[in-house]
Structure formats: C-alpha cells, structure tokens
Amino acid sequence: MSKKRVWIINQYASLPSTGIGGRHRDLSRELVKLGYEVTLVASRWTHLVRDAVVAGCAPESEVFEGFRFLRLPSSQYEHAHDKRRIWNWFVFAFQVRQLDKRLGQKPDIIVYSSPSLIGYLGAYRLARRCGAKLIFEVRDIWPLTFMEVGGYTRRHPFIRFLQWIENFAYRTADHTTSNLEGAGSHMRERGLPASRFSWIPNGFSLEELRQVEALPEEVASRIPRHGFRIVYAGTMGTANALESLVAAAKLLLDKGANIHFVLVGNGRSKPDLEAQAKAARLGNIVFLDAVSRTQVQSVLQRCDACFIGWKDSSLYDHGIAANKLFDYLYSGKPILHAFSGRFDPVASYGAGITVPAENSEAIAGGALQLSYMSEEELQAMGESGRQAAINCHEYAVLAKKYDDLFNQLLRGRGH
C-alpha cells in the first residue's frame, strides 16, 4: 500500500540552517515516522530568516529528517512591518496554487498554516484541483490580531479583505485546527461548524531539549548565585510586557526582598528596558544576550523560577501558544505567569502562579509568594508542569493527533 502524501504549507517554516526549525519541522519529522510521505513548503525569504547567505545558497528542494523541504522563490524584505511583505503573501499564494505542476504529483492531504491568510486561497485552489483534503491550521487569528494589537479598524479595506478570506476558509476547509485552545468559539461565530474544529496545541521536541550545552563562564558568572532568581528567556518585544517586570523589580528592591531577575534575550524593547533599570538603579536585574537553543535549559537550571508575561488584551481570551512556555515547563521550574486571558496552561497544569497581566504590584506579590515557598512545594509545581509538557505537548503526541485526523478525513473520501 502506497504511503499517504501530506503537504504542509507554511510560508514561514524553516530548517535549523536558516531559522529555528519550529513546529512544522518537528511535525513533519514525526509524521514521517508514522509512515507518511511529507513535503514541507515555505518561502525562501521571510523576515524570520536568520542567515541570509545560507538561505540564498540553499537548494530549492532538499530531504531533511526524512521529509522534503521545498523553498518557493520570493523577494527579500527587511522586517515584519515592511510593506513588501504583503506582496510576498500574494506571490506565495500564486506559487502554492501551482504546486502540483512544480512537483509533478498530487497530495492526499494539504495542511495550510496561518498566520498569512492570502496563501489559503492558493491552497484552496490546489486542493480542489488535486482532490485533496484541506486542513486550515490557525496559529494566529488574523485579522483579529491586526485590530487588537495594531489598532486597525474593521472598516479598513485590507482588513475587510482579510476578514472575507478568514470567513471563506472556515466555510471551505474540510477541517480547521488551532494551537489556541479557545479559538473554536471565535471560529463558530464566523460560521465554522463545531464538528470541524480540533485543538492541536503547540509543542516541543523532547530529543531537542535533551541536547543541553553548558554556559560559557562569562555568561554563567553574571547569573546571581544567591537569593531567589527568576528568569525570563526569550524575545524582548512589546507583546511581552516586560516593563511591568522592571517596575515589579523596583517594588521588590524597595521592600528589601532578596529576589533577582535574569532577562535573557534580545529584541526591540531591550534598550528601553535596560535604560529604565539603569535610571532606577535596579541592582536586582541582570540583562544577558540571547543564548543558543541548546543553552536555554542551562540558564533555566541556574534559576529558581521562570517568568512569562503578556499584554492585558482580549486577544488572549482564545488562549496562548508561546514556544518559551514549553522550555519552562520541561525545565521543572515553577512559572510566574502574568496573564489575564483564558485557557491558562500554567493554572491548568498547577505549574506555578498566575497574576494579572501588566500589573507590577501583582507580579511583585507573585514573586514574593514563590520565594516564600519550601523547596518541596516549588519542586512539586515544577514537576507537575514537566509531566504535563511531556504527556500533552511532545511533538510525537501531537503528530498522532494529526494522524487520527488525517485518517478520519481520508475515510470520508473512501480511502
């Protein structure tokens, strides 16, 4: 019996050579282990490409970890807000529409993954022509995100166009999945039948996180050796609301609390955060540059708890799917979670303490509460989160969920 052919289309997918790999690299690898013939389709150039030289020299098609990785040609642009990015969406959609001709074969299943909505139109035409089942995977709810975070009005012509595509996708896809647990309610309001939605969360590769590299001494020496140490490891951007953490550090310093914050990473907000900490003479905050993927666990193990924060926005009423959360959970450290949305995994898994988002007093109070706990209580929280991560979020587990869905859809086609 021939292998079932799956094409996963994500404009921003990458391999470790040019990006971070991420969700679809891991899912593709695990689906191959389950017996599928998998092709992962991406754009050669996006703002997430980390090594432009390697990306420019990389082949159009290569086999990696058992699946085929296909790079579609596109033009370069500078950053996420570059208007040329929109043109890339349309180019990618047109190329996706012609994939069967480019590859000389037809798929059984197509998974089209957001955030870009334009490419769905190409995937829809491709699926119709090939007689393939089409799954729409929503990782970021557009255009809702543009309106909630970007401040765009729903009457904006481009927002109206994106809204039409989103509604069209819910009507026409054979099934819709999301890594956001509460996304189904939003989709039902847009016309998606409840029976055609599945929550398949974000995850992590156990094999990857087991590859731990020691920290260079110049990095390790800057992490405080005493007091209660809370680490943030990730991008320092607007969405992470780290200004509240800096303000909480000031409150704790004024109280004389022996609590230190270690912020590891880079991002647009980092210079402002460093300036705020310097102006307030906060000796209880250390800023470190980003470390390699294999060194993240080494950083976490040198601290007592982890921090993750969000904006106080209704956008998060549909849930969250931050990749750093799984690094935290796997580390076995309790998590201080500044979050005011719904579907909170930290609370659900008993993996830490959740306080209101963008509330420095609440963050300071949560930090104090953790610092007062016994070692046994902290370990119990951490272990609860670690087991939940392994049982519910490892990519082998998530690939099996997609396998079940594929079989369900193909049975309906008479496969």
pLDDT tens by residue, 326-364: 999 999 999 999 999 999 999 999 999 999 999 999 999
Check whether residue 43 and residue 62 sit in a common domain: yes
CA-to-CA distance for 153 and 56, rounded, in angstroms? 37
Lowest mean pLDDT among 50-64, 182-196, 258-272, 375-389: 50-64
Check whether residue 196 and residue 236 sit in a common domain: no
CA-to-CA distance for 80 and 1, rounded, in angstroms? 44
Domain hosting 326: range is: 208-392
Q: What is the tally of structural domains in the chain?
A: 2
Tens of pLDDT, residue by residue over 167-212, are 999 999 999 999 999 999 999 999 899 999 999 999 999 988 999 9
Question: What order do you get walking across the sheet with 61-64 strand by strand?
Answer: 61-64, 67-72, 37-43, 5-9, 109-113, 133-138, 175-178, 197-199
Q: Which long-range contacts (CB under 8 A, 24 or more apart) does 215-220 make?
A: 215/291, 215/295, 215/298, 215/299, 215/302, 219/288, 219/291, 219/295, 219/299, 220/298, 220/302
Check whether residue 387 and residue 400 sit in a common domain: no
Check whether residue 298 and residue 384 sit in a common domain: yes
pTM more than 0.85: yes
Which pLDDT band, with edges at 50, 70 and 90, does 21 fall under?
low
Which pLDDT band, with edges at 50, 70 and 90, does 403 fall under?
very high
DSSP assignment string, 151-168: ---TTSHHHHHHHHHHHH
Check whether residue 124 and residue 14 sit in a common domain: yes
Q: Measured in whole angstroms, how far is the alpha carbon of residue 410 from the centre of its chain?
A: 28
In contact, 315 and 323? CB cutoff 8 Å = no
Going by C-beta distance under 8 Å and a sequence separation of 6 or more, which residues neighbour residue 72?
Answer: 41, 42, 43, 44, 92, 95, 96
The confidence score (pLDDT) of residue 100 equals: 95
pLDDT of 75 over the 90 cut: no
pLDDT of 307 over the 60 cut: yes
Q: Strand, coil or helix: what is 116?
A: coil
Q: Which two tokens stand for residue 239?
A: 């969405």
pLDDT of 412 over the 70 cut: no
Check whether residue 247 and residue 285 sit in a common domain: yes
CA-to-CA distance for 168 and 374, rounded, in angstroms? 53
The pLDDT mean for the chain works out to 92
In contact, 1 and 32? CB cutoff 8 Å = no
Check whether residue 14 and residue 71 sit in a common domain: yes
Check whether residue 277 and residue 405 sit in a common domain: no
Share of the chain above pLDDT 70, in %: 98
CA-to-CA distance for 49 and 259, rounded, in angstroms? 37
Check whether residue 313 and residue 276 sit in a common domain: yes
CATH number of the structural domain spanning residue 386: 3.40.50.2000
Check whether residue 197 and residue 62 sit in a common domain: yes
Which pLDDT band, with edges at 50, 70 and 90, does 56 fall under?
confident
Measure the N-to-C terminal CA separation of the chain; round to a whole number of Å.
Answer: 11
Which pLDDT band, with edges at 50, 70 and 90, does 145 fall under?
confident
The confidence score (pLDDT) of residue 148 equals: 76
Which pLDDT band, with edges at 50, 70 and 90, does 415 fall under?
very low
Mean pLDDT in residue range 318-333? 93
Could you check whether the bond before residue 143 is cis, i.e. omega within 30 degrees of 0?
A: yes
Question: What order do you get walking across the sheet with 285-288 strand by strand?
Answer: 285-288, 259-264, 228-233, 305-309, 335-338, 352-355
Check whether residue 183 and residue 196 sit in a common domain: yes
CA-to-CA distance for 343 and 139, rounded, in angstroms? 15
CA-to-CA distance for 409 and 27, rounded, in angstroms? 18
Check whether residue 198 and residue 92 sit in a common domain: yes
The confidence score (pLDDT) of residue 80 equals: 74
